[in-house]
Amino acid sequence: MLEEVGFKIHNDEALQILVDSGVNVDLEEKTAFIPSDLVNKTLKGLPSSFKLYDREGVNAIDIGGDKVWFAPGTTSVNLLDHNTGENRLAETQDCVNHARLVDALEHLALQCTSIVPGDVPNEVKDWYRLYINIVNSQKPHFTGPFTMEGFYDIMKILETVAGGKRELAEKPRAYICVETSSPLRIGEIPCQALIECARASIPVEIRFLGGLGSLAPITLVGSLVQQTAEFLGTLVIHQLVNSGAPVVWCGTPALFDMKYGTPILSGIETVMMETAMTQVGKYYNVPTGVRTLCSSTKVLDAETGLESGIGLLLSSLSGTNIIQGPGQMGNANLHSLQKLVIDHEVCGMAYHLMDGMSIGEDAFAFDLIKKVGPGGTHFLEKHTREYLNKEIYHPSEVIDRQTLPQWKRSGSRDVAGRSREYLESVISTHEPVALDADMKRDLDEVVWAIMKRYGIDSLPVHPFSA
């Protein structure tokens, strides 16, 4: 596909890199015809895993192999207000609440710039939400730029947190999203961000959106092949810039709804393709990512639950390395803190499912069964107490397990009510680890310099004024 049909690259630097490597490039059409031997060579040199570090550079998670991590979905402009139930434009305070909540939720390994603050100037929308996440959490980050200026601002912020360019390369605190423009194209900004990340050894996620029957063939395998071609074409550029630079292959293949004429991300076909893509990724030995918890719904209802639940479980069992989506609804146009905590429960269930059952003589419990005998109970047995936390997943009060009378007595609340109470409690009681004074000062100076450059006097959450 890459050799015959070609890959259109709206970036002169990338085209030149390919020309210099002997690739046949039609410069006028901006199309490269990438040969398979170059692709194979690229795949051989690819790192099969990399580490992502927390803010202080102390702890890291391994991205790769069969280890599964969960991260909130991204990037939504609208927010489902957990107080009013209203679907409204998101604001800075929502970003703050989200960051603090994600910091507290144990099964979410990563922060994401999930929410676009609508109450700030356009020029700051991308880096500013990252800044808020950094201030409110130690967890590693997933983010992406809206413009190249935004990209350089993001890099500056990350370098400041790490203590320098080299330090950031050695211990990356974030990985950056780069998306292709199907079919078989990549735009100027994503491509430039790709090149810069490769140069700086910052991990990059190469992401495909596609669209069955719109921007990709309607047949799932056809779409999968196109997705793979787009990944490989982008990967070749990335690895030519810096062989061995870390990368994640992400698929969020959309369905094009043939009734409403819009892309959706919640269909069973998306889940099918993402699990298939993970299998291909494992064949290539490259870290994988998917977005399988994004529902199409605009309210918290049964459809929301089932779309998230199905997606999350299937992708966990596939062993995808980074599973994104908790909190995301409305086909990635709407974010919800309530959905985030509900999805978080499913993440916990998924981890429990992946851990499997305890096996072994003690687990088989023959002697115990004999001891308890026919008609006896296991309530008082030490064995029951010993295995309670390992064998059984204990959900938070977000998940309803009460009897009917108990449920009525505690207010007859549905999941919307229970999740609202839970998230409010977490946000008000959880204290994220604060930035140390030196890092805070350095970061504040960088942020202030960016604000000054844009002529911005103040932002809703900002370091200090003039």
Locate all alpha helices (DSSP H) within 164-320, ordered by sequence. Answer: 165-170, 188-200, 220-241, 268-284, 302-318
Interface characters, 332-361, with another protein (x: CB under 8 A): -x----------------------------
Q: Which among 198, 177, 52, 50 is positioned nearest to 113, based on CA atoms?
A: 177
- Stretch of 14-22, 206-214, 400-408, 438-446 lying at the interface with another protein (CB under 8 A): 206-214
Name the helix (H) or strand (E) containing 142.
Answer: strand 141-143
Please report whether residue 398 would count as binding another protein according to CB under 8 A.
no
DSSP-derived secondary structure for 375-402: T--STT-HHHHHHHHHHS----TTS---
Please report whether residue 384 would count as binding another protein according to CB under 8 A.
no
174's CB contacts (< 8 A; 6+ apart) are 52, 130, 140, 141, 142, 143, 154, 158, 202, 203
Distance of alpha carbon 266 from alpha carbon 261, whole angstroms = 15
* Binding residue for another protein, selected from 106, 259, 366, 405, defined by CB under 8 A: 259
Q: Which among 328, 292, 324, 293 is positioned nearest to 90, based on CA atoms?
A: 328
- Stretch of 48-56, 143-151, 390-398, 404-412 lying at the interface with another protein (CB under 8 A): 143-151
Torsion region of 164: left, alpha or beta (phi above 0 gives left; psi -120 to 50 gives alpha): left
Query: What is the smallest separation between the CB atom of 385 and another protein, expressed in angstroms?
Result: 53
Interface characters, 49-78, with another protein (x: CB under 8 A): --------------------------x-x-
Q: Is the peptide bond before 405 cis (omega within 30 degrees of 0)?
A: no
Residue 108 phi, psi dihedral angles, 5° rounding? -100, 115
* Binding residue for another protein, selected from 24, 40, 59, 122, defined by CB under 8 A: 122
* Binding residue for another protein, selected from 90, 116, 245, 340, defined by CB under 8 A: 116
Query: What is the smallest separation between the CB atom of 343 and another protein, expressed in angstroms?
Result: 23
The residue written with tokens 């029951």 in the block is 384
Shorter beta-carbon distance to another protein: residue 87 or 396: 87
Q: What pairing do the DSSP bridges indicate for beta strands 87-89 and 78-80?
A: antiparallel
Please report whether residue 81 would count as binding another protein according to CB under 8 A.
no
Please report whether residue 125 would count as binding another protein according to CB under 8 A.
yes
Q: Is residue 348 within 8 Å of 107, Cβ to Cβ? A: yes
Query: What is the smallest separation between the CB atom of 142 and another protein, expressed in angstroms?
Result: 17
Please report whether residue 189 would count as binding another protein according to CB under 8 A.
yes
Both tokens of 446, joined, read 């960088």
Question: Coil, helix or strand for 63?
Answer: strand
- Stretch of 104-112, 180-188, 222-230, 233-241 lying at the interface with another protein (CB under 8 A): 180-188
Interface with another protein (CB under 8 A), residue total: 28
Strand partners, 174: 141
Which amino acid appears at position 304 of this protein?
Answer: T
Please report whether residue 261 would count as binding another protein according to CB under 8 A.
yes
Please report whether residue 31 would count as binding another protein according to CB under 8 A.
no
Q: Is the peptide bond before 75 cis (omega within 30 degrees of 0)?
A: yes
Please report whether residue 87 would count as binding another protein according to CB under 8 A.
no
Please report whether residue 298 would count as binding another protein according to CB under 8 A.
no
Shorter beta-carbon distance to another protein: residue 139 or 185: 185
Query: What is the smallest separation between the CB atom of 258 and another protein, expressed in angstroms?
Result: 4
Shorter beta-carbon distance to another protein: residue 146 or 351: 146
Please report whether residue 187 would count as binding another protein according to CB under 8 A.
yes
Distance of alpha carbon 70 from alpha carbon 91, whole angstroms = 24
- Surface-to-core class of residue 346, CB atoms within 10 Å of its CB (0-12 exposed, 13-18 middle, 19+ buried): buried
- Stretch of 18-26, 47-55, 250-258, 371-379 lying at the interface with another protein (CB under 8 A): 250-258
* Binding residue for another protein, selected from 117, 150, 246, 289, defined by CB under 8 A: 150
Please report whether residue 217 would count as binding another protein according to CB under 8 A.
no
Query: What is the smallest separation between the CB atom of 171 and another protein, expressed in angstroms?
Result: 29
364's CB contacts (< 8 A; 6+ apart) are none
* Binding residue for another protein, selected from 257, 303, 397, 442, defined by CB under 8 A: 257
Please report whether residue 215 would count as binding another protein according to CB under 8 A.
yes
Please report whether residue 147 would count as binding another protein according to CB under 8 A.
yes
CB environment 363-401: b (16+ within 10 A), e (fewer): eebeeeeeebeeeeeeeeeeeeeeeeeeeeeeebebbee
Shorter beta-carbon distance to another protein: residue 94 or 126: 126
Please report whether residue 417 would count as binding another protein according to CB under 8 A.
no
- Stretch of 17-25, 145-153, 307-315, 371-379 lying at the interface with another protein (CB under 8 A): 145-153
Check the CA dihedral 449-450-455-456 and report its sign: negative
Please report whether residue 10 would count as binding another protein according to CB under 8 A.
yes
Which positions touch another protein (CB under 8 A)? Answer: 10, 75, 77, 89, 116, 122, 125-126, 146-147, 150, 181, 185, 187-189, 211, 213-215, 256-262, 333
